[in-house]
Amino acid sequence: MIDISFKINGKTVNPRSIGDELEKAVLTEIGDSVKKSLRSVSCPTHHQQPKVVIQGQNLSNLSFEISGCCDELIKKATSKLE
């Protein structure tokens, strides 16, 4: 399973717990889209999937930080999200 987390304005947030319905919908859609894009990505050597942190000060300036067991996995995941 792909591990996706969100950090907005420096705080880890759960999209389902956000009170603002628009923000909740946007973050949920982004998370679902990332999972769909990366569902087939895994490391052929270590059999791991990437971890993604989606972060930013607000919804208009989000960035993706991808980590994993090795550089090959990170490169594969990055290319899928570009």
Residue 62 pLDDT class (50, 70, 90 cuts): very high
- The tokens for 36 are 């769909």
Q: Is 51 exposed, middle or buried (0-12, 13-18, 19+ CB in 10 A)?
A: middle
- The total of structural domains in the chain comes to 1
Which residues, at least 6 apart from 33, have a Cβ–Cβ distance to it below 8 Å? Answer: none
Strand arrangement, sheet containing 51-56: 11-13, 3-8, 51-56, 63-67
State which residues form the domain around 12: 3-81
Instruction: Look up tokens 């973050």; give the residue.
Output: 27
The stretch 43-67 carries a mean pLDDT of 95
Q: What is the pLDDT of residue 30?
A: 96
CA distance 80 to 49: 13
Residue 26 has pLDDT above 90, yes or no: yes
